[in-house]
Amino acid sequence: MSSIRSAANSRTWLLSTPHTAYALRVSDRELPAHLHWGAPLTLAQAAAMAPHGPVYGVGVDGPGHPEEYLVAGGARFGVSSLQVQFSDGTRPVQPVLVGEHVEEESGGATLTLSYADEHYPLTIDLHYRVHDGCDVIERWTTLRHPADPPAFVTRADSACWTLPPRPDYRLSHVTGHWSSESQVERVTLARAETTLTSRRGLTGHHANPWVMVDAGDATEDAGEVWGAALAWSGSWRITVDRSPTDRVQLFGGYGHDALTWRLAGDDCLRTPVFCGLYSDGGFGAASRGWHEHVREHVLPRPDEVRPVVYNSWEATGFAVDVAGQQRLARLAAPLGVELFVMDDGWFGKRLSDNAGLGDWTPNPDRFPDGLTPLIDEVHRLGMRFGLWVEPEMVNPDSDLYRAHPDWVLHSANRARTEVRQQLVLNFARPDVAAWAHGWLDGLLRDHKIDFLKWDFNRPFTEAGWPEAADGADRLWIDHIQAVYDLLDRLRADHPRLRVESCAGGGGRVDLGILAHTDEVWTSDNTDAYDRLSIQYGFSQVYPAAIMAAWVTDSPNWLNGRVTPLRFRFHVAMAGVLAIGGNLTEWSPEELAEAADLVAQYKRIRPIVQHGRQYRLAPPGAPVTAVQYVSRDGAESVVFAYRPAPTFGRHPQPLPLRGLDPAATYRDKDTGTQHPGALLLTHGLPLTLPTGDYASALVTLIRV
C-alpha cells in the first residue's frame, strides 16, 4: 500500500510507496523544504530529519535548504521552477502557506499544498500523488491569478526533484534523430545546468522527456537510480542542475524559452505531470518500475492483448487503390494477421506528399465506391480494419487550405515555412478542433474502422496566431490539449477504436500521449539490426506492450541491409508484432515461415506484452538478449541475437533473471529441463544458426 501522512509537530509530510519514501517539510512563509527521496523511512524518522543545508551559507550557495519548488527571488541564483512578472513589473514571488489537504482516492492519495503570494493575487498549488502498488510519484502544479491586470508567466515547471548527496553523479538519457531514435547516453553529470528540450511543438526524435541519475556505479542489476519523466507531448524542458557544491535537482515542465503565458480571471495553468521514481535495483529495476506505472496508471486499456498488424506503407507507398489493398489483405490474413491497416495515399489528391492533406475523403479514382468494399473484404477475411490519418496537418495544395489559409500556424508579415510540403493546423482554434472532430467522427461512424494510425510529420514553425489579440503563446499548450481532448472524445464515442501515436516515426512518444492512445510507432527505421539499439533505449522507460515493431523486406529500404526473415521476426516479436513488407514479392517459403512465426508470437505475446522485462545483454555485446517473465513467474521468454559469429567460438550460456532459483524450468521446444539456480548463475545454453544475423527464441515453463 502507498500512503501520505503528516507529523503535525514538525510539519513533515511522508509519502510512502511499496519500496520507497519521499519526505518534505512545510513552512508558513516559504515553499516546502525537501528532506528525503530514497529508501523507506518511518514517519518518526522523517520528522527527525534536518534538511541538507548549504555548504558555504545562504547567499553564496543559494537557499539554506533544497526547496520542493523554486521561485524567482531572494537568494536564489540557479534554476527557477516558476518565473512570473506582475503588472507593475515586479518579478520575485513571495509565497505564504494557505492550506494543506490530502484526498484519499481509490487506489491512492493526493496531497495538495496551497500557497498564495503575500501581495499579489497569485496562487500556487503543489500536488503530489501516490498509487497503491507503484513506486512512481506524480507531481504537478496549478497556477491562478484571478484578477486584472494580468500576470505573465514565463516559466512554470511541474516539479523540482532533489537528489541526496552522493560522491558523484551520472546522467542517463536518450538522443538521436529521425530513424535513429532512443540512443542511450550515460555521461558524468557536469557541474552546470544541463538542459534537454524540444522547441518543436512535439516530443521530438532528438530527445525524450525523461532522465535518470545515479552515483556513477549503478549497473543493469544493482545500484541506486533516480528518474523523472514528463507526461507531455508538446514542447518541453528538463534541466538537471548540479551546483558547484554538488546539490543535484531535476526540473521539468512544458514550454521553452521565450514563451509567455497570460494569467488572469478564470485562467488556470495546470502543468503536466512530472513523475519521479527511485530504485535501488539498478537500471533494470527502474525500467520495470516505469513499465508497471505505464501499464497500470497511464494506458487507457492496459490489459488488452495487442493484435498482430499488417501495414501497407512499405509495400505500396502512395500507390494505393482498392484492388492492390485487397490483394495485400488476402495475403496477410493467412499469416495470422488480425488488423489490416491502409496507410497514406487513400484520400483527396494524395498521389505524393505534395498535396491532399486536409481533404479527408476517399480518392474517387482509386476508391470509386469509397472505402466500404475494402473494409468489407478485410472483415470477410477475419481481420479488423485500420487507417492512416494526419489530422493536424494540411498541404497548401488542398481544398482545405485554399478555403481556410488562416487556420494554420503563422505569423503576420512572415513567410510560412513548409516542411514535407505541409503546414500545421492550429488546433488551439476552436473552429479547427471542431472541424477535425467532425470529419473524424463522421469517418468512424460511416465505416467499420477499428484503428487509426495518427501521424504528425513536421514540427511547429511560425507558431503564431495573429487573430489572437492576446496570449498567442498559449497555443503551444492549447494545441496539445486539444489533441488530447479530441482523442478522448473519439474513443468515448467509438469504444472499439484503437489509436497508435506516430510522428514521422518515434517523434511523439511520451507519458502524455500514452494516456490517450494504445501504442506508439517506435521508428520509421524498420531494419532489424538498427532496431536492437532503438528498442533497447525505448525500453528504459516504455514497456513492450506499446512498442510497435514491423517485419519488412530485405534488403531494407533505408540502409540496404540483408537479414534473414527469422532474425527480423525475432526482433519485432520483442514488442507489438506487425508486418510491413510487400507480401506480393514474398516467396511461398517465406510466407509459410512467417505464418509459423506469427503463430509462435501469439503463444508468447501475453508474456511479452504484460510480463516483466529483463535486458540481459545490450546491443554491441557478442550476443544481445532480452527476457520476459510472466506476472505469475510460470513462464519466461528469451530472445537472443548474434549479429555476426565469432570464428571458432560458440555463444556463452546466457545468465537469466527473474526466475525462482528453487524451481525447475522446461524448454518448451526441446523438453530439456534446467534448474532455476543454474539458469540464474551459469546461464541458459544457446543454440544459434550459423551465419550473420542469427537469433533464437526460447520459451521456458516452470515445472
Buried/exposed 17-30: b ≥16 CB within 10 Å, e otherwise:
beebbbbbbbeeeb
pLDDT at 134: 97
Q: Any catalytic annotation for residue 518?
A: no
Helix and strand numbers (H, E) in the chain are 13, 37
Q: What angle do CA 275, 539, 341 make, to 5 degrees?
A: 105
CATH superfamily of the 617-702 domain: Golgi alpha-mannosidase II (2.60.40.1180)
Average pLDDT, the chain: 96
The partner residues of 269 in beta bridges, in order of sequence, read 143
The percent of residues in the chain predicted with pLDDT above 70, rounded, is: 98
- Per residue in 172-215, pLDDT (tens digit) is 999 999 999 999 999 999 999 999 999 999 999 999 999 999 99
Q: Would you state the cell numbers that stand for residue 31, as one nine-digit string?
A: 515553499
- Spell out the long-range contacts of 30-33 with Cβ–Cβ below 8 A and sequence spacing 24 or more: 30/67, 30/95, 31/67, 31/68, 31/69, 31/70, 31/71, 31/95, 31/115, 31/124, 31/126, 32/67, 32/68, 32/69, 32/113, 32/126, 33/65, 33/66, 33/67, 33/68
Please tell me the predicted confidence (pLDDT) of residue 65.
83
Question: pLDDT-derived band of residue 560, with 50, 70 and 90 as boundaries?
Answer: very high
Specify the long-range contacts of residues 485-494, CB closer than 8 Å, at least 24 apart. 485/433, 486/391, 486/427, 486/433, 486/436, 486/437, 486/440, 487/454, 487/516, 487/517, 488/516, 489/437, 490/437, 490/440, 490/441, 490/444, 491/300, 491/516, 493/441, 493/444, 494/441, 494/444, 494/445
CA distance 213 to 218: 9
**DSSP state for residue 405 in the 8-state scheme:** G
| Axis-axis angle for helices 372-380, 322-332 (nearest 10) | 10
Lowest model confidence (mean pLDDT) among 355-369, 457-471, 486-500, 614-628: 457-471
Would you state the cell numbers that stand for residue 77, as one nine-digit string? 541564483
Whether 359 is catalytic is no
Q: Taken in order 315, 319, 321, 324, is the CA torsion positive or negative?
A: negative
Whether the per-residue pLDDT at 60 is higher than 80: the answer is: no
Greater confidence (478 vs 469) lies with 478
**Would you say residue 52 has pLDDT above 80?**
no
Task: State how far the Cα of 236 lies from the Cα of 253, in Å rounded to an integer.
Answer: 6
Q: What is the mean predicted confidence (pLDDT) over 663-677? A: 98
612-617 vs 624-629, strand pairing mode: antiparallel
Which strand (E) or helix (H) includes residue 314? helix 313-316
- Is the pTM higher than 0.95? yes
CB atoms within 10 A of CB 133: 13
**Is residue 273 over pLDDT 80?**
yes
pLDDT band at 470 (very low <50, low <70, confident <90, very high): confident
Is pLDDT at 375 greater than 80 in this prediction? yes
Mean pLDDT for 415-428 is: 97
pLDDT at 55: 54
31 neighbors 69 (Cβ within 8 angstroms): yes
Question: Is the predicted pLDDT of residue 433 greater than 80, yes or no?
Answer: yes
- In SS3 terms, 59-81 reads as CCCCCCCCECCCECCCCCCCCCC
Confidence of residue 520 (pLDDT cuts 50, 70, 90): very high
Any idea what DSSP says for residue 361? S
pLDDT of 478 > 60? The answer is yes
Q: Which range has the worst mean pLDDT, 145-149, 157-161, 543-547, 587-591?
A: 145-149
Report CA Rg, the chain: 26
- For β-strands 339-342 and 309-311, DSSP reports them as parallel
**Catalytic residue (choose from 125, 524, 530, 553):** 524
- Minimal CA–CA distance to 340: which of 372, 388, 294? 388
For residue 42, name the pLDDT band (cuts at 50, 70, 90). very high
Residue 620 has what DSSP assignment?
Answer: T
Kindly tell me if the per-residue pLDDT of 37 is higher than 90: yes
Catalytic residue, chosen from 455, 518, 527, 553, is 455
**Assigned CATH topology for domain 3-48+80-297:** Beta-galactosidase; Chain A, domain 5 (2.70.98)
DSSP 499-518: EEE-BTTBSS-SHHHHTT-S
Task: Count the helix, strand and coil residues of the chain and give each as a percent rounded to the nearest 5.
Answer: 20, 30, 50
The pLDDT assigned to 421 comes to 97
- The per-residue b/e assignment along 469-494, b for 16 or more CB within 10 angstroms, e otherwise, is eebbbbbbbbbbbbbeebbeebbeeb
Burial of 404 (0-12, 13-18, 19+ CB in 10 A): middle
Give the whole-angstrom CA distance, residue 457 versus residue 466: 24
pLDDT, position 650? 81
Q: 3-state DSSP call for residue 391?
A: coil
Residue type, 630: S
| Cα distance between residue 599 and residue 337, in whole Å | 10
Nine cell digits for residue 331: 495475403
| Distance of alpha carbon 651 from the chain centroid | 34
Q: Got the DSSP string for 511-566?
A: HHHHTT-SEEE--S---HHHHHHHHHHHTTTS-GGGEEEEE--SS-TTT-----HH
The cell for 42 is: 518511518
Average pLDDT of the segment spanning 327-355: 98
Phi, psi of 425 (to 5 degrees): -75, 145
pLDDT in tens, 148-172: 999 999 999 999 999 999 999 999 9
CB 637 within 8 A of CB 625: no
Query: What angle do helix axes 588-610 and 565-572 make, rounded to 10 degrees?
Result: 20
Q: Which comes out higher in pLDDT, residue 55 or 214?
A: 214
In this structure, the chain runs to a length of 703
Enumerate the domain spans of the chain. 3-48+80-297, 617-702
